[in-house]
Amino acid sequence: MKDIKSLAFEELKMEMECLGEKAFRAEQIFRWMHQKMVRSFEEMTNLSQGLRERLSQEYALTSLEMVRVQESALDGTRKYLFELEDGRLVESVWMKYRHGNSLCISSQVGCRMGCAFCASTIDGLERSLTASEMLEQVYAVTLLTGERISNVVVMGIGEPLDNYGNLLKFIALLTDEKGLHISQRNITVSTCGLVREMRMLADEKLQITLALSLHAASDEKRRKLMPVARRYSIAELIEACAYYFERTGRRITFEYALVKGENDAQEDARQLASLVKGLNCHVNLIPVNPVSERNFVQPDTENITAFKNKLEKNGINVTIRREMGRDIDGACGQLRRRQKAYTRR
């Protein structure tokens, strides 16, 4: 069956034409799916019973099943574990900020990038998510919380640029004025640094924020943490970032997970500063999240502050990521891992 929720509006219009339906039906159905976020064709009450039946015979209306939610007593952050229709699991994290609610979504089930500190990649990639499965994380959490989501960050499980086509469809649907109409400026896509796709994305000239997971300031150190660094050098990455800014005018975010004794020395900060100095950018320092299967430790607070100060002295825009949901934590991908282990038992 066709995945109707992943269709762009124009595609849906063509589908309705093929069914011999009037063009305005496409807009009605689109709004039911992407604005009212209904979970069945039956609820599309301004369509004839005949059309509703026909739709349910020909199309699948993707929906996710929430299997668990954990809520932080400290800041209200909620981690949702969702089951896809084939039984696979993904996580989404909902965070409340003064400027609005933000949802961090997954783009794949598992990941094949192999970063040393990351829990999501331990069992490799199972499959990529469809556009509708990415959207459904936003819709399901909107319905569950009853609150509007204003920011979406594609920073959960998976490498979004390794699922490029579906990611672009997802962004188009999420920002459609006949849907939730989330502004492109409120969407962030985080990548481990797939240079070819970063450049393709730049050429799309979207107004989304691109975040690059840098995590090291030399190729040698980066290769120890991230296998993708064997494919692309830091010089190539920085060039791709400059190109992204040139094409879109959007400031790049560099993510840098601080790992005690690995990349947190003053010399690392100095190298990082000189790398990103010429770019219109912002550096986000993330004290590494301990993962039970991995042996990485956060630097001491003084070290983190010293690292930040060093960057600032060099004129770099920098923030330390505020930790949300500390009490329900476990790094990204850990909830899914725990559930899988539980199910296996």
Binding positions for ligand SAH, rule: CB under 6 A: 113, 115, 117-118, 155, 159, 190-192, 213, 255, 257, 286, 288-289, 291, 331-332
In the complex, what is the shortest distance from the CB of residue 37 to ligand SAH, in angstroms, rounded to a whole number?
Answer: 25
> Which of residues 113 and 180 has its CB atom nearest to ligand SAH in the complex?
113
Nearest distance, CB of residue 48 and ligand SAH, angstroms: 44
Indicate the burial class of 25 (C-beta count within 10 angstroms; 0-12, 13-18, 19 or more). buried
For the chain, the first-to-last Cα distance in angstroms comes to 33
CA 199/CA 110 separation, integer angstroms: 24
Residue of 104, 118, 241, 332 marked catalytic: 332
CB 318 within 8 A of CB 308: yes
- What kind and span of H or E run contains 301? helix 301-313
CB of residue 259 to ligand SAH, shortest distance in Å: 8
Query: Cα separation of 6 and 142, whole Å?
Result: 18
CB of 329 to ligand SAH, least distance (A): 10
- Which one, 6 or 263, has the nearer CB to ligand SAH? 263
Q: Which amino acid, 65?
A: E
Contacts of 29 (CB under 8 A, 6+ apart): 4, 12, 16, 44, 47, 55
Residues shown for the chain: 345
Q: Which is nearer to ligand SAH, 112 or 178 (CB)?
A: 112
Pick 4 or 286: Cβ nearer ligand SAH: 286
| CB of residue 76 to ligand SAH, shortest distance in Å | 21
Non-local (6+) Cβ contacts of 303 within 8 A are 258, 260, 264
Helix, strand, coil fractions of the chain, as percent rounded to 5 = 45, 20, 35
Q: Which residues pair with 94 in a beta bridge?
A: 78, 103
User: Would you say 103 or 332 has its CB closer to ligand SAH?
Assistant: 332
Minimum CB distance to ligand SAH, residue 78 (Å)? 18
- Enter the tokens of residue 65: 């099943």
64/115 with CB nearer ligand SAH: 115
Per the annotation, the verdict on 332 as an active-site residue is yes
Cβ at position 103, least distance to ligand SAH in Å: 14
Has 241 been annotated as catalytic?
A: no
Number of DSSP helices (H) and strands (E) in the chain, helices first = 11, 14
| Residue 137 DSSP one-character state | H
Beta carbon nearer to ligand SAH, 76 or 290 = 290
- C-beta of residue 81 within 8 angstroms of C-beta of residue 159: no
Nearest Cα neighbor of 250 from 165, 316, 187 is 187
Catalytically annotated residue among 91, 136, 255, 262: 91
28 touches 47 (CB < 8 A): yes
Active site residues: 91, 332
